[in-house]
Amino acid sequence: MTVAHSHRFPTAVNPINISLLSKQLLHLGRTNNNNSGTFSEISHQRELLVSSLISKLDDCINLNQIKQIHGHVLRKGLDQSCYILTKLIRTLTKLGVPMDPYPRRVIEPVQFRNPFLWTAVIRGYTIEGKFDEAIAMYGCMRKEEITPVSFTFSALLKACGSMGDLNLGRQFHAQTFRLRGFCFVYVGNTMIDMYVKCGSIVCARKVFDEMPERDVISWTELIAAYARVGNMESAAELFESLPTKDMVAWTAMVTGFAQNAKPQEALEYFDRMEKSGILADEVTVAGYISACAQLGASKYADRAVQIAQKSGYSPSDHVIIGSALVDMYSKCGNVEEAVNVFVSMNNKNVFSYSSMILGLATHGRAQEALDLFHYMVTQTAIKPNTVTFVGALTACSHSGLVVQGRQVFDSMYQTFGVEPTRDHYTCMVDLLGRAGQLQEALELIKTMSVEPHGGVWGALLGACRIHNDPYIAEIAAEHLFELEPDIIGNYILLSNVYSSAGDWGGVLRVRKLIKEKGLKKTPAVSWVVDKNGQMHKFFPGNLNHPMSKKIQDKLEELVERLTALGYQPDLSSVPYDVSDNAKRLILIQHTEKLALAFSLLTTNRDSTITIMKNLRMCQDCHMFMRLASEVTRRVIIMRDNMRFHHFRSGACSCGDFW
């Protein structure tokens, strides 16, 4: 093949462009016929002027500067040059100037508008979020019989994606193909993105499969789309077949696993990425930290901090890293460190505040959480979002602050325009329910404009268990069993309500129901991590631990010392119809007590004991931990499936309200 036939040099020029070009040249000539220079000299001078103005536009940082240049353009008679006006409009878009009225008016006097000028306007409206206007501009452009370029379709497909308008997206897909095909990879990529945003991953995949040429962006878009819908198998399969994996593609996998509650896999992919010699950036590291937060153990937290430091991302300078660390430290039981990170952050956004508020809330520091919330909404320009309100309401519900909770709930929509979702109703039902206002909680559910989900009824049932109300419990359970028929915890809750009321017949009925459904009880487990990073798990009455004998002895000793302080086992915490003595034996084998005894035997006297548990702690264990913190003079941090309890000098951070 000779050079003349190379695809980079088209053999024929589009006839429309030729006529456009000649008309523009004529126009330039007309505006300069008072000048003595030759036509080519004049156009050369003009070219120089245009290129100098274009580079000036690149440096513009505000609207006034652009308007000055525009004035210059008009004075010099360059107002018909699509080239410079396109650049002008793109600069306005870059600075976030709304298309109406100014940028839009710039193109009106232009006699022969080319596709690039139109596209700049379409793109401007798309980025501004005025999608209907963008589409309307395309209509005007077609009316002038201007043939769109690839870039035009890219802007239009982006608008369809943002609108989520699949039908319109399909139409533009067809038009793109008819007029341009997949002439550039980025057009195909925008098409994939459009289908993904419209919720049709199948169509996105079809585009991907049919593209004659793909790049790493095409792959990553699809991988991230699979991850977003929770299909990590397809994401991983696609990723493995990607020939050259770049940092963004790796990040899509790491964050994908983290978002889909597969933290261990997220860490594995991160390690693989490091081994393949690709450096992480702040987004990758934030994904890694999020995975560590889910694992909830300090050994992962330490590693996450090391990685962030090694990569050069300090929490004080990188909001994403800072916010992720605030969340991670809170979830790993170290709320003090979460506060330290938060305070050190130079830039904070709604993620940072929401994470901190939620962290304080789950650690029982309700007043601080509410103070921070109020500080945020009154002293900063940051707008609270739906998660922020979950945090503020959680703070109230975990501390019984009914009045404040109601205020926050009412202000949500009235003051901040945030519509309460089912999750916020869950918090409110939890708040009222825990405070003993079960009837009010039930009434609140009835006022909901959306259908309540399992969370709402679950909160009510949980409150019924605390306050022993079998009547409302049955109403809640009826709805709950319909919405979440396979979650064993719901049945156990109802069973516990019956057992607290001494209704053993009710207990038997629920047990039969569980058996019929073939559901398996989740075994309780508590765990601690020793100073070598080794995890030790404890199951109920599990005597297989190598230190089992010592643990039992330690517990016996502890019970003796606690009894001297007035400890009486809370037999109502055992939901079985057995003898009192049997109840005592069951209670002393609760997993968190085993974990406590183990920690007392294996840790330094001045270190904090952190215990994690997969289920809710019972009343007896709560009292036990409280008293144990007094006699042993140790700080015990205990995380159950809901929240953190900090036991210190015989008191708990939750104020016994939980």
Partner DNA sequence: TTAGGGTTAG
Residues 549-578 close enough to bind DNA by CB under 7 A: none
**Does the protein bind DNA through residue 323 (CB under 7 A)?**
yes
Q: Of 346, 342, 288, which Cα lies nearest the Cα of 318?
A: 346
Measured between alpha carbons, how far is 652 from 34 in angstroms, rounded to an integer?
90
Residue (69 or 249) nearer to DNA, CB: 249
Among residue numbers 608 through 637, which ones bind DNA (CB under 7 A)? none
Asked if 255 contacts 232 with a C-beta cutoff of 8 angstroms, the reply is no
Instruction: Write the DSSP string, 232-261.
Output: HHHHHHHHHT-SS--HHHHHHHHHHHHHTT
**Does the protein bind DNA through residue 496 (CB under 7 A)?**
no
Contacts of 624 (CB under 8 A, 6+ apart): 562, 567, 593, 596
The helix (run of H) or strand (run of E) holding residue 646 is strand 644-648
Six-digit token string for 599:
């920690």
Residue (81 or 397) nearer to DNA, CB: 397
Binding DNA by CB under 7 A: which of 165, 221, 265, 368? 221
Contacts of 169 (CB under 8 A, 6+ apart): 157, 160, 161, 194, 195, 198
Q: Which stretch binds DNA (CB under 7 A): 56-64, 172-180, 484-492, 601-609?
A: 484-492
- Please report how close the Cβ of residue 142 comes to DNA at its closest, in angstroms: 20
Q: Which stretch binds DNA (CB under 7 A): 28-36, 382-390, 565-573, 597-605?
A: 382-390
Binding DNA by CB under 7 A: which of 80, 114, 152, 290? 290
Binding DNA by CB under 7 A: which of 320, 494, 621, 654? 320
**Does the protein bind DNA through residue 420 (CB under 7 A)?**
no
Q: What string marks each residue from 20 to 59 as x (binds DNA by CB under 7 A) or -?
A: ----------------------------------------
Among residue numbers 594 through 613, which ones bind DNA (CB under 7 A)? none
Residue (223 or 597) nearer to DNA, CB: 223
Alpha helices (H) along 144-215: 150-163, 166-179, 185-197, 201-210
Binding DNA by CB under 7 A: which of 79, 423, 503, 630? 423
- Please report how close the Cβ of residue 449 comes to DNA at its closest, in angstroms: 17
Classify the phi-psi angles of 419: left when phi > 0, otherwise alpha if psi is within -120 to 50, otherwise beta: beta
Q: What string marks each residue from 254 to 273 as x (binds DNA by CB under 7 A) or -?
A: -x--xx--------------
**Does the protein bind DNA through residue 246 (CB under 7 A)?**
yes
Binding DNA by CB under 7 A: which of 387, 514, 519, 635? 387
**Does the protein bind DNA through residue 351 (CB under 7 A)?**
yes
Binding DNA by CB under 7 A: which of 123, 365, 554, 622? 123
**Does the protein bind DNA through residue 350 (CB under 7 A)?**
yes
Task: Give me the residue label for tokens 């261990």.
Answer: 264
Q: Which amino acid is at 432?
A: L
- Please report how close the Cβ of residue 552 comes to DNA at its closest, in angstroms: 33
Contacts of 100 (CB under 8 A, 6+ apart): 133
Measured between alpha carbons, how far is 469 from 24 in angstroms, rounded to an integer?
83
Q: Which stretch binds DNA (CB under 7 A): 480-488, 505-513, 531-539, 627-635?
A: 480-488
β partners of residue 644: 639
**Does the protein bind DNA through residue 426 (CB under 7 A)?**
yes
β partners of residue 648: 651
Residue (346 or 579) nearer to DNA, CB: 346
Residue (320 or 596) nearer to DNA, CB: 320
Q: What string marks each residue from 83 to 122 as x (binds DNA by CB under 7 A) or -?
A: -------x--------------------------------
Among residue numbers 428 through 447, which ones bind DNA (CB under 7 A)? 430
**Does the protein bind DNA through residue 152 (CB under 7 A)?**
no
**Does the protein bind DNA through residue 458 (CB under 7 A)?**
yes
Binding DNA by CB under 7 A: which of 133, 165, 265, 327? 327
- Please report how close the Cβ of residue 372 comes to DNA at its closest, in angstroms: 13
Measured between alpha carbons, how far is 636 from 653 in angstroms, rounded to an integer?
11
The helix (run of H) or strand (run of E) holding residue 586 is helix 580-588
Q: Is 382 exposed, middle or buried (0-12, 13-18, 19+ CB in 10 A)?
A: middle
Task: Give me the residue label for tokens 């009316």.
Answer: 143
Binding DNA by CB under 7 A: which of 81, 114, 311, 394? 394
- Please report how close the Cβ of residue 77 comes to DNA at its closest, in angstroms: 27
DSSP 280: P
**Does the protein bind DNA through residue 427 (CB under 7 A)?**
yes
Residue (234 or 349) nearer to DNA, CB: 349
Decide: helix, strand or coil at residue 38: coil
**Does the protein bind DNA through residue 135 (CB under 7 A)?**
no
Q: Of 429, 449, 424, 448, which Cα lies nearest the Cα of 440?
A: 429
**Does the protein bind DNA through residue 459 (CB under 7 A)?**
yes
**Does the protein bind DNA through residue 334 (CB under 7 A)?**
no
- Please report how close the Cβ of residue 349 comes to DNA at its closest, in angstroms: 5
Q: Which stretch binds DNA (CB under 7 A): 9-17, 421-429, 530-538, 632-640?
A: 421-429
Residue (117 or 252) nearer to DNA, CB: 252
Long-range CB contacts for residues 566-573, cutoff 8 Å, separation at least 24? 567/623, 567/624, 567/627, 569/620, 570/618, 570/619, 570/620, 570/623, 572/500, 572/619, 573/618, 573/619, 573/620, 573/621
- Please report how close the Cβ of residue 321 comes to DNA at its closest, in angstroms: 8
Six-digit token string for 486:
């396979």
Asked if 282 contacts 309 with a C-beta cutoff of 8 angstroms, the reply is no
Measured between alpha carbons, how far is 463 from 439 in angstroms, rounded to an integer?
11
Residue (110 or 642) nearer to DNA, CB: 642
- Measured CA distances, 101 to 90, 106, 125, 419, 467 (Å): 15, 9, 12, 32, 62
